[in-house]
Structure 1
Amino acid sequence: MTDLKELQSMRSELAPPRLTSSEPVIDWMLARRQTSGCNRIIHLNNAGASLMPDCVVEAAIKHLRDEARMGAYEAAESATRELEHVYETCAKLLNCSVSEISIVENASRAWSLIFAGIKFEEGNVVVTSNFEYANNYMAILQAKHRYGLRVVVAQNTPTGELSMDSLMDIIVEHGRAIRLISITHVPTNNGVVNSVNEIGRLVRETKVSGLLHESALYILDACQSAGQIFIDVQEGGFDILTTCSRKYLRGPRGIGLLYVRGGRFEQRRSQEPMLLDVRAAGWTSRDGYDVYDDGRRFETWETNVSAKIAFGVAVDHARGWGISNIEKYTGDMAEKLRTLLHGVSRIRLHDTGTRRCGIVSFSVAGSEPSEVRTFLANRRINVSISERALTRLDMENRQLDNVLRASLHYYNCEAELDLFVDALGDFCRRHR
Structure 2
Amino acid sequence: MEMSVTEKFKELFNELEGCDEVDQKQKIEEMKRMIDEMNEKEFESVFTTELFENIHKMIILKKFSLKDAISLLMCIGSFNASFIILKSSFESSSLRHIFEIIIIDEEKKKERKNERLLIDLCECCLLLNNYNVDLSKDLLGICIRYLLKVALKKEEDKETQKEVETAILALSCIRKLQKVPKELFLNEIKEIVFYQQEHHNLTPLASRFLWLFLMDRLDNDESLEDVFVNELHLAREVARELEELSKCVDWTRKEKEKENRGKEVKKKFIIRRFLYAFFFFFFSSSKLWNEEFIELIMSIVQVLRASRDNHKETFESCINVIETAAGKKVVKIEAFLKGGAVDAVLEEIQRPTLDDKIAYNGLIFFMNVLYRLKDEEKDEMEEAKRKATKMELFEKMEEEGYEDCIFGFCNCKVESLFDEYIFVPNVERLFVHY
TM-score tier by shorter-chain length is: under 0.3
Taking structure 2 as the reference length, what is the TM-score of the superposition?
0.26
- Higher normalized contact order (CA 8 Å, seq sep 6+, divided by chain length): 1
Taking structure 1 as the reference length, what is the TM-score of the superposition?
0.26
Larger radius of gyration: 2
